Amino acid sequence: MKIRNKKFIYLISPNKIIGNSFFNSLNLVLKSNKVSFFQLRLKKESKNRKIEIAKKIQKICVKNNVKFIINDDPYLALKLRADGCHLGQNDIDIKQAKKILKDKIIGITCHNSILLAKRAFINGASYIAIGAFNKSNTKKIIHKANIETLKKIKKSINLPIVAIGGINENNYKKLLLNKADFLAISGYIWNNKKNKPHQAVMSLK
């Protein structure tokens, strides 16, 4: 199968980042030239620790031409001069986020809802995230999506779609074949029991 966009991975950070080995691994993963976005998602770290980690990651992203996205916090994204921010449905309103971040990237989680996807489009989202398509060990699954949902949303709105939820080497091609623009991946890269992170990313061809 020929993939339209070879940089189809929307990489999400592990829940915890400990030690310097992560930054070396990240650099090798991004060198694969398969990653378009990297989202820093650290729910339990202090703001100062997030900033410390983010600055190191941002340099690696810039070097590898990868967009650097901050989860949940447009003020932090602005402070760091990140490329953008990703918002959940319970985070700050997108209209307020756009006032803070101006023309930077703002993505919105829309679960499995065509209504939420249309609302995100109307409010000026840069992309929408749809899922979860599969079971995930990274995040508790509340909303389930399927290929039919993906097709309907793709027909309804003209925005890039990031598919999310338990994506691995066994199920990623089906989502790309059904025109997901990007695949949000975390656990398969960072918690892979068979392969190191850079090997895991190279298995997604």
What integer pLDDT is reported at residue 136 of this predicted model? 74
Between 43-47, 101-105, 127-131, 143-147, the lowest mean confidence (pLDDT) is in 143-147
Domain architecture of the chain: domains with CATH:
9-202 (3.20.20.70)
The pLDDT tens digits of the residues spanning 87-106 come to: 999 999 999 999 999 999 99
Residue 8 in tokens = 């189809």
Does the pLDDT at position 125 exceed 50? yes
What integer pLDDT is reported at residue 1 of this predicted model? 35
Strands 127-131 and 67-71: unpaired
The whole-number average pLDDT for the span 42-65 is 95
- pLDDT confidence bin for 6, thresholds 50/70/90: confident
What integer pLDDT is reported at residue 139 of this predicted model? 63
User: Which DSSP category does 81 fall into?
Assistant: T
What integer pLDDT is reported at residue 134 of this predicted model? 87
pTM of the model: 0.94
To the nearest whole percent, how much of the chain has pLDDT over 90? 86
The whole-number average pLDDT for the span 3-12 is 83
Distances (CA, A) of 172 to 43, 180, 197: 26, 10, 16
The whole-number average pLDDT for the span 16-22 is 92
Distances (CA, A) of 14 to 39, 40, 128, 137, 139: 10, 8, 21, 11, 11
The whole-number average pLDDT for the span 71-84 is 97
The pLDDT tens digits of the residues spanning 143-174 come to: 788 899 999 999 999 999 999 999 999 999 99
